[in-house]
Amino acid sequence: MPDHPEPPPPRARHFIQQIVDADNASGKFGGRVHTRFPPEPNGYLHIGHCKSICLNFGLAQEFGGTFNLRFDDTNPVKEEQEYVDAIKADVKWLGAAFDGGPNAGGLFFASDYFDQMYTWAEELVSKGKAYICDLSGDEMSKMRGDTKAPAQSPFRDRSVDENLRLLRAMRAGDFPNGAKTLRAKIDLASPNFTLRDPVMYRIVHAAHHNTGEKWCIYPMYDYAHCLEDAIEGITHSICTLEFRNNRPLYDWFLDSLGFDFPKRPQQIEFARLNLTYTVMSKRFLLSLVQQKLVTGWDDPRMPTITGLRRRGYTPESIRALCDDVGVTGQDSVIDVSRLENALRDHLNKTAPRFMAVLRPVRLIIENWPEGKVDELDAVNNPEDVARGLPPTTRKVPFTRDLFIEQDDFMETPAKKFFRLTPGQEVRLRWAYFVRCTGVEKDAAGNITAVRATYDPATRGGDAPPGPNGEPPRKVKGTIHWVSASHCKTAEVRLFDRLFKTPEPGAATGNYLDDLNPNSLEVIPLARIEPALAAEAKVEDRVQFERLGYFCVDQDTKPGALVFNRTVTLKDTWAREAAKE
């Protein structure tokens, strides 16, 4: 039986698919589709980047095209090899196969093009389209003006020869940081600020993770990016909306260097992914790490790919979210519960279920003989249709001494409390009906055990029909349990959202003011059923019945399992919001 028996309803093609359709129809790129994902290696990737990766890789897949992973590593100061390695692993994990498979374009580094970019910079100088400017950064911003036409740089009219000589001296290391820049000579009166003689190269005496000490001048984003795209033969250069104003500049450099279709890339902007309760900028995420407000980039509360992965997210669920939110040209904020729901949908079908008790209290079955063990059959995942029928099962040992969840018992029950309370009968999942007979307490009056009797006729979890064909007796509640003598212990980490407000920082301007102080609760001694303890490997994803989806954390050591709660079974935040 196929995984998804019903195909999803057809969906309108998004505006970038329509652009590619039109380009293919007109032959603008000779039928080629070549995309790239161009991260700067100055931090770990986050869920926002996933949208860009899925879009770019998805287009390559859909149109039989090619996808590159390219590091936009033009800034030596903030970039590190650690980030390069992590980004490669994250992109692969998400499923964008850049270095193998039918759409793989390969792995590239912008810094490998520094020689070519520099040659083109000399060409622009020779054409009178760029000049060396001695203004400081501050002077330049002032002179670029605000809304009125700005003052002209006193260096704008240097001769081509002088500009070439100075550019070569800049490259040779004759000047300190900030002493000079190479600027494009475009239009100081343009209403579009990016065209007001933008900087192309600046002096930075710093070692680069790839080129070492070779360069002391580095290209700026706007100059570098269009050329990186052109060198790689990118057709559709997709970026986020804040680059819309930069598009004329992207085109100006390509025009000035004589690039023409079909061997010229075009920039297309789309809306970035924003999520509620989440900060997404690498700068903010880095400061959470540096200030030790999280345990690292891979803290399961982080919206980084590595954090989501450690939390238990699947690549399928992240891709499903990106697909679900679609591609538009209008910025919006997506409710983080949509990400959580995408994960529930996937894990509901794929994660095997087990029983675990987080906060145990002992349940003694009075009429069960001491030492007797009944091996009951428990279904692994009733939703797992992919594995065919009948569903697979495992054995769960049932004994006289069990553990149940403390809050599944109330001595004085609240209204509509259908779980265990004196006199009431409940179903123990996969096992028997039990009726509560009382409690045991210590001298201080704390409950030390709950007592019950079981009905042997309900083995498997259902009552038989009455002797005269009456309908079987029903119970209102089902609770989970483990055998006290067979269960194993595990540490369980329960996470909540890292921020307690939908738009962190909205009220005070500082997102740290909205950190949720209770985003992590550690349960040192949860009890889990023996079959799970025997099988669990790091990154395995399971459901603990009634408690949520969990995955095995990398901190697990032999004999010391650690689980992360990935997500609860239902959206508890929605439930809380509904109560208010």
Residues with active-site annotation: 40, 272, 282
Instruction: Decide: 500 and 516 in contact? Cβ < 8 Å.
Output: yes
Report the nearest approach of ligand ATP to the CB of residue 331 (Å).
10
Stretch that binds Mg ion, among 37-45, 334-342, 418-426, 566-574 (CB under 5 A): 37-45
Report the nearest approach of ligand ATP to the CB of residue 136 (Å).
25
Residue nearest to Mg ion (CB): 40
Q: How far apart are CA 477 and CA 417, in angstroms?
A: 9
Return residues touching ligand ATP (CB under 6 A): 38-40, 48-49, 51-52, 239-240, 272-273, 280-282
Q: Which residues contact 378 (CB under 8 A, 6 or more apart)?
A: 353, 355, 393, 394, 395, 396, 429, 430
Stated as kind and residue range, the H or E segment containing 451 is: strand 447-454
Rank residues 242 and 411 by Cβ distance to Mg ion and give the closer one. 242
Phi first, then psi: what are they for 148, rounded to 5°? -80, 165
Instruction: Decide: 325 and 13 in contact? Cβ < 8 Å.
Output: no
Rank residues 305 and 479 by Cβ distance to ligand ATP and give the closer one. 305
Report the nearest approach of Mg ion to the CB of residue 53 (Å).
15
Q: Could you write out the three-class secondary structure of 32-53?
A: CCEEEECCCCCCCCEHHHHHHH
Of Mg ion, ligand ATP, none, which one does residue 105 interact with (CB within 5 to 8 Å by kind)?
Answer: none
Rank residues 67 and 354 by Cβ distance to ligand ATP and give the closer one. 67
Of Mg ion, ligand ATP, none, which one does residue 426 interact with (CB within 5 to 8 Å by kind)?
Answer: none
Q: How far apart are CA 567 and CA 308, in angstroms?
A: 11
Residue nearest to ligand ATP (CB): 48
Of Mg ion, ligand ATP, none, which one does residue 273 interact with (CB within 5 to 8 Å by kind)?
Answer: ligand ATP
Report the nearest approach of ligand ATP to the CB of residue 86 (Å).
12
Write down the residue that tokens 């390069």 correspond to. Answer: 84
Q: How far apart are CA 50 and CA 43, in angstroms?
A: 14
Q: Would you state the structure tokens that stand for residue 163, as one six-digit string?
A: 């500009």
Report the nearest approach of Mg ion to the CB of residue 96 (Å).
19
How many other C-beta atoms are found inside a 10 Å radius of the C-beta of residue 181? Answer: 25
Rank residues 273 and 336 by Cβ distance to ligand ATP and give the closer one. 273
Report the nearest approach of ligand ATP to the CB of residue 526 (Å).
36
Residues of span 40-69 touching Mg ion by CB under 5 A: 40
Rank residues 49 and 480 by Cβ distance to ligand ATP and give the closer one. 49
Size of the site for Mg ion (CB under 5 A): 1
DSSP secondary structure string, 288-313?
HHHTTSSSSTT-TTS-BHHHHHHHT-
Stretch that binds Mg ion, among 34-42, 242-250, 348-356, 538-546 (CB under 5 A): 34-42
How many other C-beta atoms are found inside a 10 Å radius of the C-beta of residue 257? Answer: 17
Pinpoint the alpha helices (H) of 132-159. Answer: 137-144
Torsion of CA 115, 116, 118, 121, to 10 degrees: 180
Rank residues 282 and 429 by Cβ distance to ligand ATP and give the closer one. 282
Of ligand ATP, Mg ion, none, which one does residue 48 interact with (CB within 5 to 8 Å by kind)?
Answer: ligand ATP
Binding residues for Mg ion, rule: CB under 5 A, are: 40
